[in-house]
Structure 1
Amino acid sequence: MDGTLVNTEPYWMSVETELVESYGGTWTHDDAMQLIGSGLLESGRVLREAGVDLEPQQIVDLMTDRVAELLRTQGVPFRPGARELLADLRAQGIPTALVTMSLRRMALDVLDQIDFPAFDLVIAGDEVDRPKPFPDPYLAAAAQLGIDIVDAVVIEDSPTGVAAGAASGAVTLGVPHIVALDGCGADELWSTLEGRTTADLADLHARFAKEGAR
């Protein structure tokens, strides 16, 4: 979701900086870059080590509330082509899942801003034992969709997300946003989703499907 479907990473970075500085610490752009794609509890642990005198779960809840407030007041900035590609997938009857390390309540807030039912299911960060870069979230999504993971295409914008997709056995597409994805294990990199359709994803899958795919 964050960085692939919507451009919320600047919101997260701003909230992280405000929080660390409120406890007298220093949080740099490079520090924030290291957390892109990470599970929120892991991010909470890192921020605690940076001086935030709260438990990791408290940090997660506080940050989620603050980012949700920014989404309400400043809007949901969708990434170019993402909403349009989802609409085409729905029109073609392709099952879709949103796999995000954000909390479910935040994911649902974002999905409320899409004017059609974009996803069949949501797998959120507070619903998995092992977050990205482990493959578990994507394997759970495939199981709940009732598909074989090798029949899936994962679309990601972060190194940890790409690692999770690749480890799951899905064809993995990287769409770089804030961080580069060269050498991270994506089957292919696209500079943008703008102008892309279901046919483009079908072609990608046909070229890179793992052995055993139907």
Structure 2
Amino acid sequence: MSPVTALLPAAVLWDMDGTIVDTEPYWMLAQERLVESFGGTWTHEAAMTLVGSGLDRSAAILQEFGVRMESDAIIQLLSSEVMEQISHQVPWRPGALELLTAVHESGIPQALVTMSIGRMAHHVADYIPFPAFATVVSADVVTEMKPHPEAYLTAASLLGVDVTRSVAIEDSVTGVTSAVASGAVVIGVQHLLNLDDSGADRIWTTLDGRGLDDLAAVLADARSARTAGGRVADERAAS
């Protein structure tokens, strides 16, 4: 057995919005429509502050912008609108389906770890042409939202794996913070937000062209770096 094979992750833990599917523009459009329906004006700056946030926080900010609805009603309405947009076009992030497929075919368990509600998480998962996830941890499963580590710790527990031997893939500072706090090895995939100081073990510009060897290499480097008391270097210059 090669060193890379020996260091394959115990599990791969995936964020959803912005990592597997580029739904952030869908969320922003739904937020804008909702605020405007109450006579307010939504801004791109406000929308960007919600990237990676739990929906409870999003609902609170929308209420500050004049949306006169209960938090749960806001969450359900926004989720339904985003799900409808996904039904018309699934906005896969580059390389996400390919990496999901490679991990699935290897037999390594995968979990979906998202702060979207469960019905939306399963809606997206159903578009993947195979049963990719052994478990789904969504906003309505946990008590604490990201950046708290509960979601990632719950996923590892449900899979029966050591979280420190698992690789988490995230696109937001909030999500990276959550995964790092859980003890997982974390790959930050640069998208809408700058991840330079997020604490990710490795920052990639894309998942396109990435495979099992890449995950194994990050895991091996991260474990060595942690033993030495550091983090893994930014890889973007070589990407």
Unaligned segments of structure 1, at least 5 residues? none
Q: What SS does structure 2 have at the residue aligned with 1:127?
A: coil
Q: What SS does structure 1 have at the residue aligned with 2:169?
A: strand
Q: Does 1:15 align with 2:30?
A: yes
Identity rate, percent: 52
Larger RCO: 1 or 2 (CA < 8 Å, sep 6+): 2
Match of 1:186 in 2: 200
Q: Does 1:148 align with 2:162?
A: yes
Q: What SS does structure 2 have at the residue aligned with 1:125?
A: coil
Please give the alpha-carbon distance, in whole angstroms, between the structure 1 residues aligned to 2:149 and 2:170.
13
Please give the alpha-carbon distance, in whole angstroms, between the structure 1 residues aligned to 2:116 and 2:43.
22
Partner deviation per Cα, 1:136-188 (whole Å, 9 max, x = no partner): 00000000000111011110000100000111111111001111111011111
Q: 2:147 aligns with which of 133, 138, 159?
A: 133
Q: Does 1:30 align with 2:48?
A: no
Shift of 1:69: 1.1
Question: Which stretches of structure 1, 4 residues or longer, exceed 3 Å deviation after superposition?
Answer: none
Please give the alpha-carbon distance, in whole angstroms, between the structure 2 residues aligned to 1:99 and 1:176.
18
Match of 1:93 in 2: 107
Please give the alpha-carbon distance, in whole angstroms, between the structure 1 residues aligned to 2:100 and 2:85.
24
Q: Does 1:69 align with 2:84?
A: yes
Please give the alpha-carbon distance, in whole angstroms, between the structure 2 residues aligned to 1:152 and 1:122.
16
Match of 2:72 in 1: 57
Q: What SS does structure 2 have at the residue aligned with 1:24?
A: coil
Q: 2:61 aligns with which of 46, 52, 56?
A: 46
Please give the alpha-carbon distance, in whole angstroms, between the structure 2 residues aligned to 1:194 and 1:65.
29
Which amino acid in structure 1 is aligned with residue 42 of structure 2? W
Unaligned segments of structure 2, at least 5 residues? 1-15, 228-239
Please give the alpha-carbon distance, in whole angstroms, between the structure 2 residues aligned to 1:196 and 1:86.
10
Q: Does 1:199 align with 2:213?
A: yes
Which amino acid in structure 1 is aligned with residue 81 of structure 2? R
Match of 2:3 in 1: none
Shift of 1:113: 0.8
Please give the alpha-carbon distance, in whole angstroms, between the structure 2 residues aligned to 1:191 and 1:115.
25
Shift of 1:190: 0.4
Shift of 1:59: 0.4
Q: What SS does structure 1 have at the residue aligned with 2:80?
A: helix
Q: What SS does structure 2 have at the residue aligned with 1:154?
A: strand
Give the TM-score normalised by the residue count of structure 2: 0.86
Q: 1:170 aligns with which of 160, 171, 184?
A: 184
Q: 2:118 aligns with which of 101, 104, 107?
A: 104
CA root-mean-square deviation:
0.9
